[in-house]
Structure formats: C-alpha cells, structure tokens
Structure 1
Amino acid sequence: MQVIQLHHPYRPDDIIDESIVLALGFFDGVHLGHQAVIQRAQQEAQLRGIKLAVMTFNQHPKIIYSNIDSQSVKYLSTTDRKLELFEGLGVDVTYLIDYTLDFGMQSPQSFVDEYIVGLKAEVVVAGFDYTYGKKDIANMQTLEGHAKGRFDIIEISELTMHEHKVGSTSIKDLLTHGNLEEANQQLGYIYQTSGYVVPGDQRGRDMGYPTANVKTNPQELLPSIGVYSVEIHVDGQWHQGMASIGYNVTFEGIRDLRCEVNIFDFDRDIYGQQVQIRWHHYLRPEIKFASAEALIEQLQQDEVDSRHFFTEPNY
C-alpha cells in the first residue's frame, strides 16, 4: 500500500496521476461500519479497473474546531495501526492529510475541488454521517451540489448491532465500561493497543506471577480498570496471558495507572521491547485484597479462567 502524506496546500506532483475510487472518513478504529465503506469502494474500484484510495487525517478534526489539547484525545487506532488495518483490507493508496487550521477552514466547495476532484476521484464512497469542510455545514446531503456532476457518489447506510449504531463513540463507551466482547464485535476484530516494556516493582515475580509492565501509548484508549485474558506480541510471536489495568490497590502507596501482563509459559527479559496487546476477554474488576496470599489465590484462579478461555472453540 502506498501512503502519501499531504499538507495543505499540496502540490500537484504529490498525488498519483490516475483515476481513483476514494473512500472518505476519519476511520478511527476501522470498525465494521468503516469496513463496509472501504469494501464497497473496493468493489467499485475493481468494477472500474482503477485503484482504491482512502483519505484520512493525522489527528481528529475536533482538535482544530474545538481548540482542545491534542494529548487529551484518545483513539481506537493510532495512525500506524489504522494504516495496518487499511492494508489488510486491500487499500491501494492512503492519503494521510495533516489536519491543520488552514485545511480545516476551507470552504466545503474548496475541499471538494481540491481534495476530491483534485485527487482525480471518479467515485466517492462515504458513510451516511460523513461531514466535510467547516464543522457541521456540509454533509452527504450537500455533496451532490458541490460535486457538480464531476464524480459519482455512493453513500453507505448506518450499520447497527444489537439495535445500536456501530461507531467509534459507541465502541469507546463499551471499552470504558468493561463490555469488551461487544466492543470487539463492533470492531470486527480483537481490540489492540501498543506500548513498550519498562521496569516495575518486581512484586509479581516474588508472588510467582512475573509481569511485563507495559508503558502504553498515551494516544490509545485503554479498556476499563480490571483483569483481562489477553495475547501479547513479543519478538514476532503472539503469546497468551492475563493483564491487569489498575492501581495495585492491594499494596500501600499512591500509584499511577498501570498495565501489567503475565505471559503464560514465558521467561525472558523483554525490557525496552515494543509490544502489542490484544484484549480478548474481561475477567473481573480490580479488587483490594486483605493480603498478598489472598491476591495470589485469585491470580491462580485468573490464570485458570484465562487458559480455559483460550481453549474455547470461538475465542
């Protein structure tokens, strides 16, 4: 997949000089609704014998429009993860736009002229709720007027699951309330975060449950506080394990939120290594135990429950 970064105003020689089908969206999470947009665009590209391109942004538009701190925004997928998911869906070209104030303050007509017609789109495919230009003034209902017959438009209807709209906001709400299974259903894959392993207190090792203390990417949304059955990617291989997100409340002291993973059947030094975590199954909330012995007993049960989960046919 070719990735082309564009900064407004872009130069004509920055873009590919051929017709495309263009899928539009921010695509945070690349969930089932987004996948429906991209898959429909792919069908159209194959029908016409041209490339499938996706346009997305390097940051959420609300950072510009609402003047909020970019560090406070949590994503379901970083740019790198998003590109990985696009490639898995067969996208040929991704236009990654720097969402600057100048870009965001374009008129809707200018956006269509420069970033749809200018990118040589024969067809645009987008979800029913796609908006463009300045906030809340241009949408799929206004696109035909701005298109002026220069490209075809395909609108993808709302996708629902369990009588609720599949969407990034819904998935974030599910993750922050511990409903991991339904979040994964709406994503269409197992939710994944990234980070690197840093030294911890070594308390888990003393209890017989050594953990990788993962400093997570601050841009990625972590699931709610609790204990989970997970997989962790280390040294090019996925390993099963169990993870805790919490504050180590059983022990004294004020602590920052931590993400710790006990990797099953694993005994290697991985400090400093990049890892990815797949969040499969919510086991229980964080609990303050009366003693280390009581915690060890619960960890033993957590391990049994996690190993059992990974033996189930549909995990």
Structure 2
Amino acid sequence: MEYIRIENDFPRITHSAVTLGKFDGIHRGHRKLVEKIIGQKEEGAQAVVLALGNASRTILTKEERCRLLEKLGVDILLECPLNDRIRHMKAENFIKEILVGDLQASYVAVGEDFRFGFERKGTPQMLKEYGRKYGFDVEILPKEMDGRRKISSTFIREELSRGNMEKFHALMGMDFSVEGEVEHGRGMGHKYLLPTTNLIPSGEKLMPPNGVYITVSYFKERTYQGITNIGYKPTVGGEKFLGVETYLFDCHEDLYGQYCRVDFKKFLRPEQKFTSLEALKKQLEKDAVKGQEYFRKEK
C-alpha cells in the first residue's frame, strides 16, 4: 500500500474508488466503508482512503493504521491535515478539484453523517448530486450501531479514557495494543519485584488510564499471557516517560531488543504509590493471580 501525506497538492490518480472520513481508528463503521471501495477493485479502480483531520493523539499510530488498511486491501492512504486550503475550500470546489480532478473518482463511499468543505456545508446528498453531474457513483452507508449509540471515534475515545478494554474491542473489532522494541529498565523488577519487559509507547498514540491491565504479549514466535502496568512507577521513584511494563506469566527468557505487541484485555486497578517495595510486590502478586484466573475462565 502506498502512503501519501498531503502537504500541498494532491497526487494525480487514475480511476479511484474513494472513501473519506477521519479514520482516526479503523473501527467497525470504517471497515464497512473500506469493504465498499475494495469491492470496486474488480472494476479496475484503485481503493483510496482519504483521511481528513488533525489530532495530536490518535487511536492508532500511523504505522498501525497503514498496516491494517494494507491488510484489508487498500491501495493508497492519503493523509490530509486540515490546512488553510482544505479548511476554507468550498464543498463544490473540493468535489470538482480533488475528487474529480486529482483522484478521478468513479465511486465514493461515505457515512451518512459525513461533512466536508468550508463551514462543513458539504453533505452526502451533495456528493450524490455532483456525482450525477460529473459521472461518479456515491454510496451512503448508515452508521454502525452499538445498542442505541452510533459507533464513532469519539465513542471509542471515551471508552478508552475509562480503561474499558472490553468495549474498545467491541467497537473496534480488535484489542487496544501497544507495540515496540523491548527496552532495558532499571532492573528493579528482576531484583526486587517480578521480572518484566518494558516498552515506551509512541507519543502520538492515545493511551488508556495509568494502571494495571490483563494482557497478552506477542513476540515473533511466542505468545505470553501477563499483566501490564501503564504509568510512571511512583513507588520506585518515578520515571520521566510513560512506560508499559509487563510481567509475563511462565517466561524465563531475556527478551531485550525483541519487537513486541501487547494486547490489552481488561483493566484491573489504577496505578498507585505504595509505602514499600514489599507492599508493591504483594499487590503485583495479587494482580497476577487475577490475571491467571481471567485466562483460565477464557479457555
């Protein structure tokens, strides 16, 4: 898949099927839109995702989003920040100059509440009208629902901020995860507490509340169940950077330098400062027991 960040002009693409939106996280509603443009590849179109918007923290990192969209079959991801040109462009001009002119869209799929153009005056119905004028088809999809509420990035962000990993999975169709190379910590876990692996999450990734979670960690050829602390380790003097520290059940290997993905299953408790290392260790052992019980029930 080709990834292009729009700085000024859009690329010229021949015969595209386009879906537009924020695509902050690729949730269940987004996947329905992506399925629609993938279906147009049989007609010779390139499947293009046009992600509009700015966010300092995102549900998925750029790498995660690219990897997922590529797996789904997308050909091109266009990331378009809302710069002055796009923010002040009239909806009619956006359709004529970008969708028709640059992307040569033959098909466009959007959600029923999609808005675009200056003052958000562009609507799905406007796309349909101009599609008839310029010769491209438009499909408007109803929002995916969770009970009575529409699935959206805002909804997912709310649940993530509560540490509700189960609801996150239900809305996204995948677990919340953090990935990276295992780094050396200060060795406190191996010396005094429980041996752990340490990751530093991407600064662009929106994180759940600091605390202890039940997790599954994936390495190249191995998978380990465990518990993970997100936070700054206040009991042992604190850290400058937010860390993701995982105690892996039944693991006695040195995993330093290996690439790892940690999937979060359930929130156990907030991060807290204990009066001593011994008190912290006792609590971590209790957390580990809860984690092991969770996985036994899952079998």
Would you call these one fold, judging by a TM-score over 0.5? Answer: yes
SS of the equivalent of 1:250 reads helix
Please report how far the alpha carbon of residue 237 of structure 1 lies from its aligned counterpart in structure 2 after TM superposition: 4.1
**Counterpart Cα distance in 2 of 1:208 and 1:254:** 17
Please report how far the alpha carbon of residue 204 of structure 1 lies from its aligned counterpart in structure 2 after TM superposition: 1.2
Task: Specify the alignment match of 1:295 in structure 2.
Answer: 280
- Superposed, 1:167-206 pairs within 5 Å as 167-206=152-191
Task: Specify the alignment match of 1:144 in structure 2.
Answer: 128
Please report how far the alpha carbon of residue 149 of structure 1 lies from its aligned counterpart in structure 2 after TM superposition: 4.5
Match of 1:213 among 174, 198, 204: 198
Task: Specify the alignment match of 1:69 in structure 2.
Answer: none
Are positions 1:87 and 2:83 aligned together? no
**Counterpart Cα distance in 1 of 2:221 and 2:123:** 43
**Counterpart Cα distance in 1 of 2:48 and 2:223:** 29
Match of 1:34 among 30, 36, 39: 30
**Counterpart Cα distance in 1 of 2:163 and 2:77:** 34
Q: 1:158 to 1:273 in 2, by over 3 A?
A: same
Aligned residues with identical type, % of pairs? 29
Contact preservation (8 Å) 1:117, 1:150: no
**TM-score, reference length from structure 2:** 0.86
- Superposed, 1:231-270 pairs within 5 Å as 231-235=216-220, 237-252=222-237, 256-270=241-255
Q: 1:116 to 1:200 in 2, by over 3 A?
A: same
Match of 1:227 among 205, 208, 212: 212
SS of the equivalent of 2:235 reads coil
Please report how far the alpha carbon of residue 228 of structure 1 lies from its aligned counterpart in structure 2 after TM superposition: 0.7
Task: Specify the alignment match of 1:50 in structure 2.
Answer: 44
Match of 2:108 among 119, 124, 137: 124
**Counterpart Cα distance in 1 of 2:119 and 2:254:** 49
Contact preservation (8 Å) 1:108, 1:146: no
Task: Specify the alignment match of 2:94 in structure 1.
Answer: 111
Specify every segment of 5 or more residues in structure 1 that has no aligned partner in the other structure, as ranges: 64-72
Match of 2:145 among 160, 174, 180: 160
Are positions 1:306 and 2:291 aligned together? yes
Please report how far the alpha carbon of residue 175 of structure 1 lies from its aligned counterpart in structure 2 after TM superposition: 1.0
Please report how far the alpha carbon of residue 80 of structure 1 lies from its aligned counterpart in structure 2 after TM superposition: 1.6
Aligned amino acid, residue 95 of structure 1: L
Please say which of residues 296-305 and 75-84 is displaced more in the overlay: 296-305
Q: 1:150 to 1:169 in 2, by over 3 A?
A: same
Number of equivalences: 296
Aligned amino acid, residue 55 of structure 1: V
**Counterpart Cα distance in 2 of 1:250 and 1:97:** 41
Contact preservation (8 Å) 1:7, 1:98: yes
Aligned amino acid, residue 260 of structure 1: E
- Superposed, 1:263-278 pairs within 5 Å as 263-278=248-263
**Counterpart Cα distance in 1 of 2:217 and 2:284:** 18
Please say which of residues 249-258 and 126-135 is displaced more in the overlay: 249-258
Please report how far the alpha carbon of residue 112 of structure 1 lies from its aligned counterpart in structure 2 after TM superposition: 1.2
Aligned amino acid, residue 143 of structure 1: L
**TM-score, reference length from structure 1:** 0.82
Contact preservation (8 Å) 1:228, 1:244: yes
Q: 1:271 to 1:102 in 2, by over 3 A?
A: farther
Contact preservation (8 Å) 1:225, 1:245: yes
Please report how far the alpha carbon of residue 6 of structure 1 lies from its aligned counterpart in structure 2 after TM superposition: 4.9
